[in-house]
Amino acid sequence: MAWNKPIPNVEKALKPFWEGLKNHRFLLLKCNECGAWYWPATYCRNHRNKPFFGSLSWTGASGQGKIVSYNITRVAMRPAFKDDVPYVYALIQLSEGPMISSNIINCAPESVYIDMPVRVVYRDVPEISMTIPYFEPDTAAKDMHRRGQP
Amino acid sequence: MSLRAKTAIVGCGETPVDRLGGKPGEPRKITSEYLAWAARLALEDAGLTKKDLDGQGLAAIYTTNHSQPFWPEEAAGILGISPAVSLGGGNGGASAVSLLGHAAAIINAGLVNLVLCVAAAAPFSEHGRSRMEPADTRDFEMPFGVMGPNCKISFVMSRYMYESGMTVDHFGKIAVTARYHATLNPNAYLRKPLTLEEYKKSRLISDPIRLYDCVMPANGGKAYIIASPERAKTLRKPPVYLLGWGERNNASAGPRFHANPLITGIRESGSAAFDMADVSHRDIAFLGLYDDYIPIIMLQIEDLGFCEKNENFGCTAAAILGKES
Q: Which of A5, A40, A132 sits opposite B257 (nearest CB)?
A: A40
Is the domain of B165 the same as that of B178? Answer: yes
Is B93 inside a domain boundary?
Answer: yes
User: Given this model, what pLDDT does residue A60 score?
Assistant: 97
Nearest Cα of chain B lies from the Cα of A41 at a distance, in angstroms, of 7
d(CA B154, CA B156): 5
Is A48 inside a domain boundary?
Answer: yes
Contact assessment for residue B105 and residue B3, using Cβ atoms and an 8 Å cutoff: yes
Q: What integer best gives the mean pLDDT of chain B?
A: 89
Domain that holds residue A80: 12-137
Is the domain of B69 the same as that of B102? Answer: yes
C-alpha angle B222/B115/B67, rounded to 5°?
Answer: 50
Is the domain of B169 the same as that of B282? Answer: yes
Which of A62, A40, A91, A67 is closest to B254 using CA atoms?
A40
d(CA B180, CA B324): 8
Residue B141, chain A, CB below 8 Å: the answer is yes
Q: Which of B144, B208, B259 sits opposite A89 (nearest CB)?
A: B144
Cβ neighbors of B182 (< 8 A, separation 6 or more) are B188, B189, B190, B191
Is the domain of B199 the same as that of B308? Answer: yes
Chain A residues in contact with B206 by the CB 8 A cut-off are 71-75
pLDDT digits (tens, 9 = 90+) for B79-133: 999 999 999 999 888 999 999 999 999 999 999 999 999 999 998 888 765 566 7
User: Given this model, what pLDDT does residue B151 score?
Assistant: 87
Residue B134, chain A, CB below 8 Å: the answer is no
Inter-chain touch A114–B255, beta carbons under 8 Å: no
Nearest Cα of chain A lies from the Cα of B263 at a distance, in angstroms, of 11
Tell me, what CATH number does B315's domain have? 3.40.47.10
**Residue A96 identity:** E
Domain that holds residue B73: 8-125+219-241
Residue B197 binned pLDDT confidence (cut-offs 50, 70, 90):
very high
Is B2 inside a domain boundary?
Answer: no
pTM for the structure as a whole: 0.88
Is B160 inside a domain boundary?
Answer: yes
Minimum mean pLDDT range among A94-98, A109-113, A138-142, B69-73: A138-142
Instruction: Pick the residue from chain A with its C-alpha nearest to B143.
Output: A6
Is B107 inside a domain boundary?
Answer: yes
Average pLDDT over residues A62-85: 93
Beta bridge partners of B12: B224
User: Given this model, what pLDDT does residue B129 score?
Assistant: 54
Is the domain of B75 the same as that of B185? Answer: no
Residue A52 binned pLDDT confidence (cut-offs 50, 70, 90):
low
Inter-chain touch B254–A42, beta carbons under 8 Å: yes
Is the domain of B20 the same as that of B85? Answer: yes
Q: Under DSSP, is residue B312 helix (H, G, I), strand (E, B) or coil?
A: coil
pLDDT digits (tens, 9 = 90+) for B204-239: 999 999 999 999 889 999 999 999 999 999 999 999
Is B131 inside a domain boundary?
Answer: no
pLDDT digits (tens, 9 = 90+) for B144-170: 998 788 888 999 999 999 988 888 988
Residue A103 binned pLDDT confidence (cut-offs 50, 70, 90):
very high
Is A7 inside a domain boundary?
Answer: no
Is A30 inside a domain boundary?
Answer: yes
Is B136 inside a domain boundary?
Answer: no
Which of A27, A39, A22 is closest to A92 using CA atoms?
A39
For chain B, percent of residues with pLDDT exceeding 90 = 64
Which of A43, A68, A65, A39 is closest to A54 using CA atoms?
A43
Q: Answer yes or no: is pLDDT of B258 > 80.
A: no
User: Given this model, what pLDDT does residue B97 score?
Assistant: 96
Is the domain of B164 the same as that of B178? Answer: yes
Cβ neighbors of A78 (< 8 A, separation 6 or more) are A5, A6, B145
Q: Which of A84, A89, A98 sits opposite B146 (nearest CB)?
A: A89
Is the domain of B175 the same as that of B299? Answer: yes
| Count of the separate structural domains present in chain A | 1
Average pLDDT over residues A44-64: 82
Is B104 inside a domain boundary?
Answer: yes
Inter-chain touch B258–A149, beta carbons under 8 Å: no
User: Given this model, what pLDDT does residue A150 score?
Assistant: 39
Chain A residues in contact with B135 by the CB 8 A cut-off are 9, 11
Is A4 inside a domain boundary?
Answer: no
Q: Answer yes or no: is pLDDT of B310 > 80.
A: no
Is the domain of B259 the same as that of B155? Answer: yes
| Count of the separate structural domains present in chain B | 2
Is the domain of B156 the same as that of B32? Answer: no
Is the domain of B81 the same as that of B19? Answer: yes
d(CA A113, CA A88): 11
Nearest Cα of chain B lies from the Cα of A91 at a distance, in angstroms, of 7
User: What part of A 7-26 touches B (C-beta under 8 Å)?
Assistant: 7-9, 11, 14
Average pLDDT over residues B257-285: 90
Is A142 inside a domain boundary?
Answer: no
Residue B211, chain A, CB below 8 Å: the answer is no
Which of A39, A18, A36 is closest to A28 using CA atoms?
A39
Is the domain of B65 the same as that of B106? Answer: yes
Instruction: Pick the residue from chain A with its C-alpha nearest to B257.
Output: A40
Contact assessment for residue B21 and residue B124, using Cβ atoms and an 8 Å cutoff: yes
Is A143 inside a domain boundary?
Answer: no
User: Given this model, what pLDDT does residue B134 score?
Assistant: 77
Is A73 inside a domain boundary?
Answer: yes
Q: Under DSSP, is residue B150 helix (H, G, I), strand (E, B) or coil?
A: helix
Chain A residues in contact with B154 by the CB 8 A cut-off are 71
Cβ neighbors of A131 (< 8 A, separation 6 or more) are A18, A21, A22, A24, A122, A123, A124, A125
Inter-chain touch B138–A6, beta carbons under 8 Å: yes
Which of A28, A11, A21, A18 is closest to A92 using CA atoms?
A28
Is B142 inside a domain boundary?
Answer: no
User: Given this model, what pLDDT does residue B311 score?
Assistant: 63
Residue B277 binned pLDDT confidence (cut-offs 50, 70, 90):
very high
User: Given this model, what pLDDT does residue B323 score?
Assistant: 47
Instruction: Pick the residue from chain B with its C-alpha nearest to A77.
Output: B147
User: Given this model, what pLDDT does residue B306 score?
Assistant: 85
Q: Under DSSP, is residue B249 helix (H, G, I), strand (E, B) or coil?
A: coil
User: Given this model, what pLDDT does residue B131 score?
Assistant: 60
